[in-house]
């Protein structure tokens, strides 16, 4: 194989697999409540999604009233329960809105409703948004974090911790140079593929396990969707909770960031999106990504 067969994007270090091994994501336009019915039971290894938050993204999604949020969500959670394998995981990226100076409670109620339906609330990861929205208010600072709720069907589930290990050597070197601890995540994202190529860089170095706090900047480049999350967020969980060839589902896929991440990591993926106008954008991104 010539050295040019695998191209490497600058800075990010994302491996682009050769065309023969490319796994194309599937995109279904429509309400995921109906779309999920088409999937066989226990066929998905990981559900990673960021649903519309209550009354957020109003201009594009109409906005779900906070009081109706749990009632709106739970039928969809039931379908997710059906399609998820017993060994699978459901990662839900969500944050409550502040209204009238107070935090709303629909996320707390959602966790409780999920447990009543048999989901195990296994973990709560924190996404620390390094470059959060600016702003100033008399009784509030800028909001720099979101929840990543981890639900499972069973107490033991597929988790491949070695896939997200961090090169401890680099981290220590950086600390000596007085760089912030968050730089270790940047190192991590530089060796994003995590499989094959970049792992060799770590030979002879000590590796450390990460914690349940993820330091990731919000995306600055993507102008096409009102609420994208950075690629490294789904990538981290896909590497941690699935193997190559496994299936990833994003029932609220938006501009398709989860699908791109799955494609990069050679996982099967299915995305669902209710707004038809996103379809072309998603397909374009997939096409440009895989080559």
Partner DNA sequence: AGCTCTTATGAATCATTGA
Partner DNA sequence: GTCAATGATTCATAAGAGC
Give me the residues that bind its own copies (CB under 8 A), please: 59, 100-103, 105, 108, 111-112, 115, 120-124, 126, 128, 130, 132-134, 136, 138-145, 155-157, 159, 161, 181, 190-193, 195, 197, 209-213, 215, 223, 226
Name the token pair of 87.
């060994």
Nearest distance from residue 226's CB to its own copies, in Å?
A: 6
Write the DSSP symbol of residue 246. Answer: -
Question: Closer to DNA at the Cβ: 169 or 290?
Answer: 169
Residue count at the site for DNA (CB under 7 A)? 71
Query: 236: closest CA among 91, 52, 44?
Result: 91
Radius of gyration of the chain (CA): 19
Spatial separation of the C-alpha atoms in residues 69 and 75, rounded to whole Å:
11
Q: How far apart are the C-alpha atoms of 128 and 143, rounded to whole Å?
A: 9
CB of 171 to DNA, least distance (A): 3
Cα–Cα dist 164/123, whole Å: 17
Q: Establish if 281 lies at the interface with DNA (CB under 7 A).
A: no
Q: 201 contacts which partner out of DNA, its own copies, none, CB within 5 to 8 A by kind?
A: DNA
Q: Out of DNA, its own copies, none, which partner does residue 11 contact, by CB within 5 to 8 A per kind?
A: DNA
Region near DNA per CB under 7 A, out of 66-74, 79-87, 111-119, 219-227? 219-227
Under the phi-then-psi rule, with left for phi > 0, alpha for psi from -120 to 50, and beta for the rest, what region is 55?
left
Which CB atom, from 40 or from 141, has the smaller least distance to its own copies? 141
User: What contacts 4, CB < 8 A, 6 or more positions away?
Assistant: none
Q: How far apart are CA 171 and CA 175, in angstroms?
A: 6
| Residue 72 near DNA by CB under 7 A | no
- Encoded one letter per residue, x for contact with DNA by CB under 7 A and - for no contact, window 141-180 reads -xx------------x---------x-xx-xx-xx-xx-x
What is d(CA 75, CA 103) in angstroms, rounded to the nearest whole number? 25
With CB cut-offs between 5 and 8 Å by kind, which of its own copies, DNA, none does residue 22 bind? Answer: none
Nearer to DNA, 205 or 287 (CB): 205
Q: Is residue 186 at the binding interface for DNA, with CB under 7 A as the rule? A: yes
- Nearer Cβ to its own copies (17/214): 214
Among residues 106, 99, 192, the alpha carbon closest in space to that of 147 is found at: 106
Residues 6+ apart with CB under 8 A from 5: 18
64 binds, among its own copies, DNA, none (CB under 5 to 8 A by kind): none
Site for DNA in 39-58 (CB under 7 A): 50-53, 56-57
> How far, in Å, CA of 39 to CA of 245, rounded?
17
Residue 206 binds DNA (CB under 7 A): no
| Residue 169 binding partner per list DNA, its own copies, none, with a CB distance cut-off of 5 to 8 Å that depends on partner kind | DNA
- Alpha-carbon distance of 282 to 291, in angstroms, equals 14
**Is residue 257 close enough to count as binding DNA by CB under 7 A?**
no
């Amino acid at each position: 194989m010539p050295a040019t067969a695998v191209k490497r994007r600058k800075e990010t270090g994302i491996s682009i697999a050769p065309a023969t091994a490319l796994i194309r994501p599937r995109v279904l336009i429509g309400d995921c409540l109906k779309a999920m019915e088409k999937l066989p039971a226990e066929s998905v290894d990981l559900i990673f999604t960021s649903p519309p938050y209550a009354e957020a993204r109003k201009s594009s999604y109409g906005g779900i009233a906070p009081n109706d949020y749990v009632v709106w969500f739970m039928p969809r959670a039931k379908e997710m329960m059906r399609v998820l394998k017993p060994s699978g995981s459901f990662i839900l990226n969500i944050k409550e809105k502040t209204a009238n100076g107070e935090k709303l409670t629909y996320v707390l109620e959602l966790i409780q409703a999920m447990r009543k339906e048999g989901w195990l609330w296994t973990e709560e990861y924190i996404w620390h948004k390094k470059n959060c929205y600016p702003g100033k208010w008399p009784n509030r600072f800028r909001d720099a974090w979101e929840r990543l709720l981890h639900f499972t069907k069973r107490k033991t589930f597929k988790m491949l911790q070695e896939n997200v290990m961090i090169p401890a050597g680099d981290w220590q070197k950086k600390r000596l140079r007085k760089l912030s601890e968050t730089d270790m995540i940047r190192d991590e994202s530089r060796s994003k593929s995590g499989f094959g190529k970049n792992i060799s860089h770590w030979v002879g170095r000590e590796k450390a396990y990460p914690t349940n706090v993820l330091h990731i900047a919000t995306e600055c480049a993507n102008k096409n969707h009102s609420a994208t999350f950075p690629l490294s967020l789904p990538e981290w969980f896909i590497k941690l909770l699935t193997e190559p060839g496994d299936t990833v589902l994003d029932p609220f896929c938006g501009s398709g960031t989860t699908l791109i991440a799955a494609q990069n990591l050679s996982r099967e993926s299915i995305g669902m999106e209710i707004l038809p106008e996103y379809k072309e954008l998603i397909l374009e991104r997939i096409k440009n990504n895989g080559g």
